[in-house]
Amino acid sequence: MRNIFLGLAFGAIVFVVIIGVLKNREVEKPLLLELKEKYTGRKDIKKVDHSKFENLNKNFKEPQEVTKECESCHNLTAQEIMKSNHFNWEREEYIKGKGIIYLGKKNSINNFCIASHGNEKSCAKCHVGLGLDENGNMVLDAENIDCMVCHDNTETYMKAPERGGEPVKTLNFEKIAQNVGNPKRSNCGVCHFYGGGGNNVKHGDLEMAQFSPDKSVDIHMAVEGVNLQCVDCHITTNHNISGKLYSLCSMNRERVTCEQCHTETPHKENIINEHTLKVSCQACHIPVYAKVNSTKIYWDWSTAGKLKNGEPYVEKDELGNHKYMSIKGSFVWGKNLKPDYIWFNGSASHYLMGEQIENPSVPLVLNPLFGSYRDGDSKIIPVKIHTARQPYDPVNKTVIIPKLYDPNKGSGAFWKDFDWVKASEIGMKENGLPFSGKVDFIETRMYWPINHMVSSAKQSVQCVECHTRKGSRLANLTDFYIPGRDFSKIVDYGGTLMILFTLLGVFGHGGGRIIAFYKRRGKQK
Amino acid sequence: MSKYVLLYKGFERFWHWMQALLIIFLAFSGFEIHGFYSFLGFQEAVLYHNIAAYSLIVLTVFAIFWHLTTGEYKQYIPTFKNIKAQLDFYLLGIFRNAPHPTKKTLLSKLNPLQRLTYFGLKVVLIPATIFSGLLYIFYRYPGIYGIEAINIGSLKIIAIAHTACAFMLVAFLIGHVYLTTTGEKITTNLKAMLTGYEELEEEVEEEKNGNQ
């Protein structure tokens, strides 16, 4: 009787365990599969058909007329745009040691085309406004918001070159206005893929191949994969687009993270999840960047201005990239690059206009990213480092903002007249900064975090690429211990020596015994 | 007069040889993780090193239980009696074919030097290795709300201590293997650890029994 009860009880336990195991399997669908199902083969379901609106059914001559019609229905949207950095080209930022400042494309200094103010006619092609006033300043009112550049779904909208943000006037605005919708990769890409004056010049991980990439270029944007659009991750509320890059931003806020979809512990193996405390997802999952086209990694302004027969010229390297341009200087490009790695806690500083350089003999970092192993908020992130030699004033010890673009020769703009002193004088004056009349060149660096061009899990960085004595990807991060890379010299040399002495002792002692044995045998004979 | 005695019991031999296998494998995979060579592959080396480490811990727990319940731990209590005689034997006597200075008995199967060495091994070196190894593993661990970390500034101290322990264990292993050849015959000690039986002098056995 007792045995029957025990048997039944045992059977019941086994049954419950089996049910439990099977049930768990059913419920716990892998997150990755869930995400794939959610995003694969989505159809763009329109809620509004703009072609049915009568006020969009007219022959628009000027882009401002379109904006006016947009705002006649979306009558509070202009306020959102006029608060956005895409329109204002600045944000309120707090920088440690520098306080609260308003920083953006309007007033920041980089080591590509250096600065925008004074060169708007060329630079503002990527402004979400519709053009400049007669003084060459951007017009920041509701009428001059460029709705179409982001919302055109026909892929026909185009800004005119060197017209300060105006579109090409011959476009069919009527068709565009009737076909507006959520921004696609093509809308964001026309500016963000070409930053720095050409494809992939600035970022290295954002380029025209991502208009319709395959999985090997970008696992997320791949057309045959989940085909994510920029705004799927860069979640936007009230025209405030999340995610920003530390070439311009300083504060740890409104960031886009991998974790927002993938969670903080997405791996099956705990030991890999444990890495996420200190290692960003990007560090392992973006093994190389600039996968399709090259990106600029070095820019030497000091060689600019050479002329052939009085005319500026261009030289290309074997991949077809500009090696030399009279207007810009010499370049080095890189393709399929392994990123550099740094500690980063989400906040950055910036070299500000007119700031005095403390030590011009060391490279000036224009956007230092903060972080270290000891800092609990820091993680290792991959970056592209862009190095340049750019003009600076050796007397005032400031980076020079030269006047680069002007449509006319004789205006003093460097791209027309190739005179550094004159271009610097005008540029500095337009920005309200002192200029000594002397031009020298200083080495500068910029850190560009790499966040796109994520590879498949199989192609991610392998353990041994960091955990190795020679050629570790993290060879430059020396403020902490990595198993396989680091060791204590005392312990390693001491330990090896100890083992050698032990072996020596063993062989000495054993040898002695063998000799003694044969000696004894000889005596016995 | 002498007779064959079961010197090493079944569990003892199982424990000894398992421990030997595990430590050799741990050293092999561990020094790969340390960056000395590449054989298994880093990821695999870590995986198997951890499995072997857990196995060693389980084995050690059983061994401690066995030593305490059988009273065999007394074998390892160090004594300084005859230590000089034992040292003299290894340094001089052994070359002259002198007899072992201490008699091996069932109740005292270790000579004074062995007692001292094994005591250090079991009370200091192996616990230090296991402890630093556990810290190495649980320096980061999955908690309920994600990955958590113990409050230690850096892995450095843990890793270096663990490496130092590993070097000492390897040195011990080499010395230990060599010293097995110093029995009555070269293979006597090895055979005893394999079969459990060794030929001991009977009178000593009786003497001991008489004392009880």
H helices of A369-488, in order, are: 414-417, 420-430, 463-466
Where are chain B's structural domains? 2-211
**Cα atoms in the Cβ-side hemisphere of radius 13 Å centred on A362:** 5
Per-residue tens of pLDDT for chain A, all 525 residues: 677 777 777 787 787 777 776 665 555 678 999 999 999 888 878 889 999 999 999 999 999 999 999 999 999 999 999 999 999 999 999 999 999 999 999 999 999 999 999 999 999 999 999 999 988 899 999 999 999 999 999 999 999 999 999 999 999 999 999 999 999 999 999 999 999 999 999 999 999 999 999 999 999 999 999 999 999 999 999 999 999 999 999 999 999 999 999 999 999 999 999 999 999 999 999 999 999 999 999 999 999 999 999 999 999 999 999 999 999 999 999 999 999 999 999 999 999 999 999 999 999 999 999 999 999 899 999 999 999 999 999 999 999 999 999 999 999 999 999 999 999 999 999 999 999 999 999 999 999 999 999 999 999 999 999 999 999 999 999 999 999 999 999 999 999 999 999 999 999 999 999 999 999 888 876
Contact B46 A463 (CB under 8 A): yes
Q: What is the pLDDT of residue A1?
A: 64
By CB atoms closer than 10 A (0-12, 13-18, 19+), residue A481 is: middle
Tokens of B75: 């074998």
> What are the b/e assignments for B111-121, b being 16+ CB within 10 Å?
bbbbbbbbbeb
Question: What confidence category does residue B209 fall into, taking pLDDT thresholds of 50, 70 and 90?
Answer: very low
Q: What is the pLDDT of residue B102?
A: 85
Q: What is the pLDDT of residues B175-189, one digit of tens each?
A: 999 999 998 889 999
Q: Which residues of chain A neighbour B167 with C-beta distances below 8 Å?
A: 491, 494-496, 498-499
Q: What is the pLDDT of residue B183?
A: 87
Mean pLDDT of B47-55: 97
Inter-residue contact B129 to B166 (CB < 8 Å): yes
Closest CA–CA distance from residue A16 to any residue of chain B (Å) = 25
Of B42, B147, B160, the CB nearest to A491: B160
The vertex-A370 CA angle with A367 and A374, nearest 5°, equals 160
Contact B167 A516 (CB under 8 A): no
Q: Which DSSP state fits A214?
A: -
Q: Does residue B64 surpass a pLDDT of 80?
A: yes
Q: Is B212 on the interface with A (CB under 8 A)?
A: no
Inter-residue contact A296 to A468 (CB < 8 Å): no
DSSP string, A313-364: -EEE-TTS-EEEETTTEEEEEESSBPPEEEEE-S-B--PBTTPPPS-TTSPE
Of B35, B43, B147, the CB nearest to A273: B147
- Strands A379-393, A295-300: pairing is parallel
Question: What confidence category does residue B96 fall into, taking pLDDT thresholds of 50, 70 and 90?
Answer: confident
Q: Is B145 on the interface with A (CB under 8 A)?
A: no
Q: What is the pLDDT of residue A291?
A: 97
Q: What is the pLDDT of residues B139-198, one digit of tens each?
A: 888 877 788 888 777 899 999 999 999 999 999 999 999 999 998 889 999 999 999 999
Tokens of A161: 């070159």
Q: Is B35 on the interface with A (CB under 8 A)?
A: yes
The vertex-A484 CA angle with A478 and A486, nearest 5°, equals 35
Query: How many other C-beta atoms are found inside a 10 Å radius of the C-beta of residue A379?
Result: 20
B201: β partners:
B2
Mean pLDDT of B101-112: 86
φ, ψ dihedrals at A371, nearest 5°: 150, 155
Options 2.60.120.1570, 3.60.21.10, 1.10.3720.10, 1.20.950.20; CATH of B2-211: 1.20.950.20
Inter-residue contact A348 to A369 (CB < 8 Å): yes
Closest CA–CA distance from residue B161 to any residue of chain A (Å) = 9
Closest CA–CA distance from residue A342 to any residue of chain B (Å) = 18
Query: How many other C-beta atoms are found inside a 10 Å radius of the C-beta of residue A118?
Result: 23
Inter-residue contact B1 to B201 (CB < 8 Å): yes
Q: Does residue B202 surpass a pLDDT of 70?
A: no
Q: What is the pLDDT of residue A26?
A: 52
